[in-house]
């Protein structure tokens, strides 16, 4: 259960931090390099949302990791 909580925590933190940074860079910083970095943050948000489910499912069905 600890692994599942860790995956949920990491996914939520990744989503929240990157979303906050996207909002910050879109409001405060309008230069091209910041837009390039903002694209990477959007990719990280999508990655956090898409991969959290399969990671959690893998942890739930993994019987080798039980203690």
Q: Token digits for 37?
A: 């970095």
pLDDT in tens, 5-60: 888 888 889 889 989 988 888 888 878 888 888 899 999 889 888 988 888 888 88
Rounded to an integer, what distance in angstroms lies between the CA atom of residue 42 and that of residue 56?
22
Rounded to an integer, what distance in angstroms lies between the CA atom of residue 20 and that of residue 51?
20
Q: What is the pTM of this model?
A: 0.70
**Can you give the residue ranges of every domain in the chain?**
2-61
């Amino acid at each position: 259960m600890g692994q599942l909580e860790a995956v949920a925590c990491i996914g939520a933190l990744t989503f929240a931090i990157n979303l906050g940074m996207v909002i910050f860079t879109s409001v405060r910083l309008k230069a091209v390099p910041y837009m390039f970095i903002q694209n990477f943050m959007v990719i990280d948000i999508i990655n956090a949302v898409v991969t959290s489910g399969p990671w959690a499912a893998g942890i739930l069905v993994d019987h080798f990791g039980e203690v």
